[in-house]
Structure 1
Amino acid sequence: MVVTGNDSEERKALQEYLSREFKMKDLGPLKYFLGIEVSRSNKGIFLSQRKYALDLLQETGMSGCQPIGTPVEECLKLCVEPNQVLADKGRYQRLVGRLMYSAHTRPDLAYALSIVSQFMHNPGEQHKNAVMRILRYLKSALGKGILFTKNSDHQSIEAYTDADWAGVVDDRRSTSGYFTFVGGNLVTWRSKKQNVVARSSAEVEFRGMTLGLYEALWLRLLLQDLGYLSRQPIQLFCDNKAACDIAHNPVQHDRTKHVEVHRFFINEKLDDKIMELPKIRSEDQLADILTKAVSSRMFSKF
């Protein structure tokens, strides 16, 4: 159990009460919990899963593999190929499951794992090779994780959203992704194939924007429950000019009727000053690495 709070007396009272009710031992400041390592410094709190990654490489016989700089080959498009050579389904599922747990502190693995997890019931050799590449990347970046810093000057909620239109070869569905930041610290992220086939890139971006906004609004409510109310509007960064223009334009056009619900939802939040849509260049869109296999230069930058 992890006990946390900003009142040391209250924490102590809770621990004493729990000690009376259960057999328990105080292990001191948090250092290791369910495979997640916690380090503290003047810069803040750092979370990583180095030991978990090392154990995973050892168990899979990949500890001596050649490391590589990205988890996904650039422009890779996986699909179910006719007459494909099947891989060991049980081993594939166990390995992907283990990798998914390592993604708790590794947003850089999110897109790669969202791709390989789509073939859990019918994995082929090309899918197994994609998983092996993730392990090779893991070896090159064992110590990566998330740093939470104190930042009293920067307290807003920010969300970066992006989408890749019709990027999935098998069913031509799209992939959307988002990163959310609170006080300049990354707190949640997601890379997911959309549930329906989109008719336009604007529709894809609107769905992606809506998902990112849902997450940001949930974080806003969570912060309110914790006694912190941000007066600043949510900053939602989307690099699709057409989607941003339609969101700001109250006139309903025939060409946007298929995204009407998403458009009204976003427009309502804009009118209520709950969110803003600042301009962002495509080369600064962090969520790009959650929707497609980018170059090693772009991946390293983000």
Structure 2
Amino acid sequence: MLPRVDGPTATSIDWFGTSLERRFVEANVRRMSFAAVQAAPYARSVWMIKPLRYCPEKFDLLQSNCPSCGKLLGWTRSLGVSTCEHCEQPLLGFARKLPIARRAAYRDIAALVDMDDERRKNSAALLPCPFRDWRHGDIFAAVVELGALAHNADRASCRDLWRKLAAGDFSSLGDKGIFQGWDLLKGWPTAIDELLSKIIDTRRSSGNLRQVLGPIGRFCYSKSKTPLCYLVEERVGVILRELNLPLKVYSRSRALCSERTNSIAMWDAMREFNVSDKLLKRLSAGGDCLLEKSVGETGVHLFDRARLQTAVELGFVDKGYP
């Protein structure tokens, strides 16, 4: 039984009964565990999954080059799974092992793309809602995407990061990224909130919302929304409301669309506190009471009600709304 490709230009394949993005599958290079082949001479389908760098059976680093001649192993010509097709030497050798402390989690992650549907279901059952009800291929994609976010949270620019991931280059995950993504799913939403808070708080003086979000923007500004994008975007809105950052919000952003608690719009503030729009705009420039400022034809200022009321009562804002 082999994975079925839905079409020559398909972005996903039928991976033993579950849909899996094609970028995750290495179909040209033969990746293998020498130790696993010595124990049982057959190729494991999970070795084809590029973000998985270790064998979930023997936990050694997967190899794609012959240890004798150094040439890349492939599928077009083979003398057997345990023999190099170039020098015809047996594929033997030792590879770096995955630390013991990480093996249980790695086995659960790899089970998401196992050919056995029961193993996939058992792995998904370890996760909270809504992830446990997702397609297993989508869960695996979420692990990879969030792992890349966590592992590269401190990068100044992540434009090339997401491009490489989309093209099937997962080197940016390193050894820890896949585990960080798994931990974020298992600890949802507390774990993702902590990560988002750290990223946003570190970049809070960067300027507009897109600059403050940095690598998180990939989930908020993507043209093709995935279920994960909507979930992350929702958590971003929560974090931004908690931090009360004075940001310019552009029309394409949905991260701050939900209503803030204890907030008040400019026109309501003019009537309620009897202040002019000019004075409120001057106050918003300082950012002390401003929560959001959108730009464009439907631009709106949103203030923190309690802070604005305090400013008015203390005389920081002159009254005189006509």
* Structure having the higher Rg: 2
Larger relative strand fraction: 1
> TM-score by structure 2 length?
0.28
> TM-score by structure 1 length?
0.29
